[in-house]
Amino acid sequence: GAVVSQHPSRVICKSGTSVKIECRSLDFQATTMFWYRQFPKKSLMLMATSNEGSKATYEQGVEKDKFLINHASLTLSTLTVTSAHPEDSSFYICSPVVGGGLGNEQFFGPGTRLTVL
């Protein structure tokens, strides 16, 4: 299967700081990247969809100015949580789309656990 990495795997930060999460597809090129958020014991909620070279599309209720997504290359997408607050503490997971077909199997990064104090 496709290899996806995320960095960092775990981060603890103070309230008000910004945190950047990197997602890399190591053995394939991803024109589309999904970013999910998962609160403890909850399901994955899609935050945004990014396409290489263009602006991300955010799901309803997700603040685009708070969660900055950059998909500058086919192998790297970043999510920056700006001015983080304790309620932003969550598990953030990226998922690149492999292949051009619809509804293909999706691979997920190992996730980044963010804790905001």
* Exposed / middle / buried, residue 100 (Cβ in 10 Å: 0-12, 13-18, 19+): exposed
Question: Considering beta carbons, is residue 31 or 70 the nearer one to other proteins?
Answer: 31
Q: How far is the CB of 113 from other proteins (least distance, A)?
A: 9
SS3 79: strand
Question: Considering beta carbons, is residue 4 or 81 the nearer one to other proteins?
Answer: 4
Please select the residue that binds other proteins; options are 34, 35, 58, 67, rule is CB under 8 A. Answer: 34
Residue 99 DSSP code? S
- Footprint of other proteins on 43-62 (CB under 8 A): 43-46, 49
Whether 2 contacts 105, CB under 8 Å: no
Dist. CA 55–CA 44, nearest whole Å: 22
Provide the mask over 59-78, with x wherever binding to other proteins is found by CB under 8 A and - wherever it is not. --------------------
Beta strand 90-96 with 4-7 is unpaired
Task: Determine, following the binding rule CB under 8 A, whether residue 3 of this chain makes contact with other proteins.
Answer: no
Q: How far is the CB of 108 from other proteins (least distance, A)?
A: 4
Q: How far is the CB of 19 from other proteins (least distance, A)?
A: 19
